[in-house]
Structure 1
Amino acid sequence: MTSSTLRQPRRDAQENRAGILAAAADEIARDPHASLDAIARAAGLSRRALYGHFDDREALVRQVLVTGAARFNAIADRIDDDDPQRALARLAAELWHEASHVRVAAAIALDESHVADTAAALAPLRTRIAEIVRRGQDTGALRTDIAAPVLAHLIEETGRAVVARMHVDPAASAEHAVKAVLGIAGLSWRESVALLDAFEGATS
């Protein structure tokens, strides 16, 4: 038996696992309570094959959450704008581009049984938002009538609510999500539009 023959099952297993996670993300985004049978069908596998990768539904949901959170945290880590307003706009816009992961994270996060898992997985993202808020308040770029921890939480909840409740064109939703976040942060709608226009002009 050659080494390539030995590696093939491992590669297939990795592809099956990735397929299960992708299918689970799609199914849970549509229905937070999607069953293992529905996820297995979406992945093109049997329920038994799915159990070869995950012990139960909870283990699968936790891994979906961890996978999506890793992508969010990586985005937060690379947002390095000195301007807090622009940093928030970029963060909201770039997170939105992870549309399927955003929707599934919102769906899972809205399920109270996963509050602790969600909080732990998204800790780096929350830390980044808190840093932007503190810097924005220190420089007067963001509202100061609300304590920084509370404002950071409101920004997070606003973004999640937009993702969870809006079912329109993704491009338009991205703009609405950014405006909602900036509005909670203290910008007027005119200021948000001007910032978005400047941001789009700089990236076009």
Structure 2
Amino acid sequence: MTSRAPRSDAQANRAGILAAARTALSADPHASIDVIARSAGLSRRTLYGHFADREALLRELIVTGAQRFNALADAVTDDDARLALARLAALLWHEAAHVQLAAALALDEAHVEQTAEALAPLRQAVAALVRRGQLDGSFRTDMPDAMLARLIEEVSRTVVSRTDASAPDAAGVAVRTVLSIAGLSWREADTLLAAHPDITTEVSA
């Protein structure tokens, strides 16, 4: 017996729940199931028909969010490792800034292991980019590539959760912070971004 595809209204309800959860959690990372259900225009019972509990909903948000982040890594094609890292950092910041508190929730200690697993393609892309930058002399070489990639990941995690997304040039601050960990001085980072202003301006439109 073949399983049926979900009905279109069920799919719409599920998508609406996820969208409402992202919005609600961006305003309050402790938003309850009741708040999320009301935001989606659904009853609590209907929400539980799609997700067994709040944690199951959070897990689904992490997976769907990770898919979007992973896709961004494929969109970066710069040959210059410095430009590639800067562009990737800007794109990731832009994506996370829209749902900053929800993104921070996905990166907290309770969910970091699952998030790391879901973001495996992105992590692999960053590791490959770090190796390329070290080989061509763009990035620091005073530590192994795996350690540097991990530091970039941890700093990016902190930037997402701690930087005010509404602050002036928040994307530029995020990008400069990541570049500094990779080994660029603040002057080098400024010069790079001044020569390629599209990196930060294209994501703030």
TM-score normalised by L of structure 2: 0.87
SS of residue matched to 1:73: helix
Residues paired across the two proteins, number? 196
- State the 1:188 CA deviation: 0.8
Mapped to 2, the partners of 1:170 and 1:21 lie a distance apart of 27
- The equivalent of 1:75 in structure 2 is 72
What's the RMSD between the two structures over aligned residues? 2.2
1:17-166 map, 5 Å: 17-98=14-95, 99-101=97-99, 103-110=101-108, 112-166=109-163
Q: 1:61 to 1:168 in 2, by over 3 A?
A: closer
For the Cα contact (< 8 Å) 1:36–1:47, is it kept in 2? yes
1:176 maps to which of 170, 173, 177: 173
- The equivalent of 2:195 in structure 1 is 198
Question: Which residue type is aligned with residue 186 of structure 1?
Answer: G
Decide which moves more: 174-183 or 14-23: 14-23
Mapped to 1, the partners of 2:20 and 2:39 lie a distance apart of 6
Percent identical residues: 59
- State the 1:52 CA deviation: 1.5
- State the 1:186 CA deviation: 0.6
TM-score normalised by L of structure 1: 0.87
- State the 1:80 CA deviation: 1.8
For the Cα contact (< 8 Å) 2:89–2:174, is it kept in 1? yes
Unaligned runs of 5+ in 2: none
Question: Which residue type is aligned with residue 18 of structure 2?
Answer: L
Give the ranges of 4+ consecutive aligned residues of structure 1 lying more than 4 Å apart after TM superposition: 201-204
Question: Which residue type is aligned with residue 19 of structure 1?
Answer: G
- State the 1:174 CA deviation: 0.9
